[in-house]
Structure 1
Amino acid sequence: MTRIRIKRVYEPAAPEDGCRVLVDKLWPRGVRRDALHYDLWAKQIAPSPELRIWYHADPQTRWPEFRRRYLEELRSSQAVREFVRRIAGEDTVTLLYASKNAAGNHAVVLQEFLEHAAEGITTA
């Protein structure tokens, strides 16, 4: 089974990162495109723009509801199923995110979802 890790895009790449996947909808601020080492930009599995904007208006009180809504989006997403198939052969996948909040960002939710959903999504 693929090991899913998360890491800020501003941290240096490391060999143990495995396949590095940018999971933000928007390109990270202050990062040149040719300076970021990544293998895939999976912006289609990031939270919808509406959900992202809603959450960022009050992240301290909206985290539990954001998490619930984002998990709903992930469960109903064909893009997530395709992503799981794509990473199935990887030993390690590192989800790259830009948020300063290490505990309250979408990559945390996505990591949890991918760790639990991988067995339920077939490769057929």
Structure 2
Amino acid sequence: MIQVKRIYDAPGEGDGFRVLVERLWPRGMRKDQAVIDLCMRDAGASPALRKWFGHDPAKWEEFQEKYFHELSGKPDVIHRLAELGREHPVITFLFAAKDEEHNNAVALKKYLHMRGVE
């Protein structure tokens, strides 16, 4: 099972294996404070796409399309995430955005779900 959570929220017992899926380190979060098991920067959206999106919900559908296109060019990243799904019953994708519905972790979860990775 894949779930998503803000990295700034307290870790929970049900988080399972915690994966940071941001290209940039979360603002204001010290590395010694972050409770993560793996940092996968390559799973994050490209700098150009992040800048274009700007966390504007009106651009969400188009952002997902563009991000999915980027992900399709990263088979190693997708393969690694699928492996993690087989190795751990629960994976939590960590993100830094304030918007909990329109961010790359939510889109990444959807992309993997569409490809049968739960």
- Deviation of 1:82 after TM superposition, in Å, equals 2.6
* 2:33 aligned partner: 35
Residue 77 (structure 1) aligns with? 74
Matches of 2:19 and 2:62, distance apart in 1 = 25
- Amino acid across the alignment from 1:44: D
Tell me the residue number matched to 1:62.
59
1:113 CA displacement: 1.4
Q: Which runs of 4+ in 1 moved over 6 A?
A: none
Please list the CA deviations of residues 46-105 of structure 1 after superposition, one character each: whole Å capped at 9, or x if unmatched. 11111111111x713321111111111112212222332244211000000000011111
Give yes or no for contact 1:84–1:118 (8 Å, CA) kept in 2: no
**Contact residue 4 and residue 114 of structure 1 kept, 8 A:** no
Unaligned runs of 5+ in 2: none
Q: How many residues align?
A: 116
* Gaps in structure 1 of 5+ consecutive residues: 120-124
What is the TM-score with the length of structure 2 in the denominator?
Answer: 0.90
TM-score (norm 1): 0.86
Q: Distance in 1 between matches of 2:71 and 2:79?
A: 9
